[in-house]
Amino acid sequence: MVVSAHPEASRIGLEILRKGGNAYDAAVATGFALAVAFPVAGNIGGGGFLVYRKQDGEVGALDYREKAPKAASRDMYLDAQGNVIADASTLGHLAVGVPGAVDGMVAIHQKLGSLRWAQVIQPAIDLARKGVVLTEREASMLNGAKESFLKANKFIPNVVRDTPWQKGDVLPMPELARTLERIRDKGRVGFYEGETADLLVKEMKRGGGIISHQDLKEYQSVWRPVVTGTYRGYKVISMPPPSSGGIALLQLLQMVEPFDLGKWGWQQANTVHVMTEAQRRVYADRATYLGDPDFVQVPMASLLNPAYLKNRMVTFDMGKATPSTQVGAGQLVAKESDQTTHYSIVDQWGNAASITTTLNGGYGSKVVVEGAGFILNNEMDDFSAKPGVPNMFGLIGGEANAIAPGKRMLSSMTPTILEKDGKLFMVVGTPGGSTIITSVFQAILNVVDHGMSMQQAVAAPRFHHQWLPDRIEPEPAAISSQVRESLQKKGHTLQNRSNYGAVDGILKGKDGKWEGGADPRGDDTALGY
Ligand code: GLY
């Protein structure tokens, strides 16, 4: 089964599975297909994370997150007065981190794939040659980004045209097809060296960007040990730093486990209150302690220490909200060492891939590499440009996530796998910037505590709290007016928000069959056989 953000990408992944490819062949094929069919977030100019579980129980994680270029510096987004320059880390060439996606796909294929490289990339090339038929949502997203594309580029890229895009129009992608062919024929060299690298570096120079040939040549993805924990008897396997996602998710699950959420009921006042108070505390920790483990010591063991997490909830009051001004990062026991997209795959043997990949904002920096036809990320905004100043997701960071050459920016992406009784149970993840962690958290609670099916769990309306700003942000239908009132009485502020990411998951159903959950918030599609 393949569940992804686009019907064409799910179709391509499924074809690979039908041909006898394993989940990792399908993951690579789906990843390249998303770069073509879902340019708002699917990419070869961004980066991502894989969490995998093989049929024999082996687990691991691949970090193919972007890196700051060598010429990057701590205060590169500050003006002479030390203020953050508007848009500098989000729009245009200076916002771009060194892409990791292609190295990631190559590494996944080399370690875990079974089909030939050319076989898994060819369907995406064919799709790019044919051109992508736009859905209504994609046409509208492209129209919405037109001005930014024109601002970020010195030429008119294929994603822009005079008349508005309509559903059913075909987006031509001949240059992207040629770039993918170079990757097909030369592997990572087809992207990080030679013609593609020349075009990318030329594009950087044209727009004042700083990625060099050396940055590209030296980029390497990294295999990392997963972070694991348990929740009500399920084993939870997730992404370690430089994502904050896995640690934050495990913290949240441990903090709410003592409470009987299932009995209290879904989206009832006590349930929302406890979850919110846990979220507030976890995001405060995130802002202080989390960063690239190759550059800073992330105190993972302390942050997941049961005694520490119990202590974090000591100030929790069932009757009232704790204002975020009274919640800082926890005192550790000991110091120690919008757009994104997620897809979940399980093959006939029970191998699982949980992948979240991103350009950061929708269409990333909006920079299209002239002659190479792909969009570059604006992942540099995931660094903390200045301590205490929020990034585009309103997230605050500090020293641990300051910019440094070659460093990876902190992420919230949370590709996750659950086991039950030692067997694969659930594969799940989502886009959504800072809401990624709380959305994965809720998808898990929806299944484990509230008995929902995978489809119900991904579709159910959600809420989010990230410490600062100090408010619960529910989707309009997430919390009834009666529960809102009761939360307000406890001292919570609520403000609706609508831009939640599309969660895509796969679950072992009660009948023993795999059950896909494709989020109706997007064009997401679950296909299986
Ligand atoms: N760019 C979103 C994230 O990595 O969290």
**pLDDT tens digit string along 2-33?**
999 999 999 999 999 999 999 999 999 999 99
Look at residue 393 in the predicted model and tell me its pLDDT: 86
Alpha-carbon span 288 to 299, nearest angstrom: 11
Compute, in angstroms, the gap from residue 378 CA to the centroid of ligand 1. Answer: 10
Which two structure tokens, joined as six digits, stand for 267?
Answer: 């989206």
428 beta partners? 416, 505
The residue contributing the CA closest to ligand 1 atom 4 is 411
Alpha-carbon span 58 to 351, nearest angstrom: 10
pTM recorded for the entire structure: 0.96
Residue 235's φ and ψ, nearest 5 degrees, are -90, 130
The residue contributing the CA closest to ligand 1 atom 1 is 360
Sheet containing strand 227-231, edge to edge, reads 227-231, 234-238, 416-420, 423-429, 504-508, 514-518
To test the pocket of ligand 1, the residue of 382, 391, 395, 435 to mutate (highest count of ligand atoms within 8 Å of its CB) is 382
Residue ranges per domain, the chain?
A: 2-69+76-223+340-381, 226-336+414-509
Alpha-carbon span 145 to 77, nearest angstrom: 23
For 105, the 3-state DSSP assignment is helix
For 503, the 3-state DSSP assignment is coil
Amino acid, res. 449: D
Judge if the beta carbon of residue 66 lies within 6 A of ligand 1. no
Residues of the chain with confidence (pLDDT) below 50: 334-337
Judge if the beta carbon of residue 411 lies within 6 A of ligand 1. yes
Compute, in angstroms, the gap from residue 320 CA to the centroid of ligand 1. Answer: 32
For 252, the 3-state DSSP assignment is helix
| Whether 203 contacts 209, CB under 8 Å | yes
Alpha-carbon span 465 to 276, nearest angstrom: 6
Amino acid, res. 3: V
Distance of CA 509 to the CA centre of its chain: 25
Compute, in angstroms, the gap from residue 115 CA to the centroid of ligand 1. Answer: 30
Model confidence over 187-201: pLDDT tens digits?
999 999 999 999 999
In the annotation, is 340 catalytic? yes
| Whether 342 contacts 239, CB under 8 Å | no
Judge if the beta carbon of residue 360 lies within 6 A of ligand 1. yes
Look at residue 337 in the predicted model and tell me its pLDDT: 36
Which two structure tokens, joined as six digits, stand for 75?
Answer: 């205060």
Look at residue 334 in the predicted model and tell me its pLDDT: 47
- Distance from first CA to last CA of the chain, Å, rounded? 7
CATH for 226-336+414-509 is 1.10.246.130
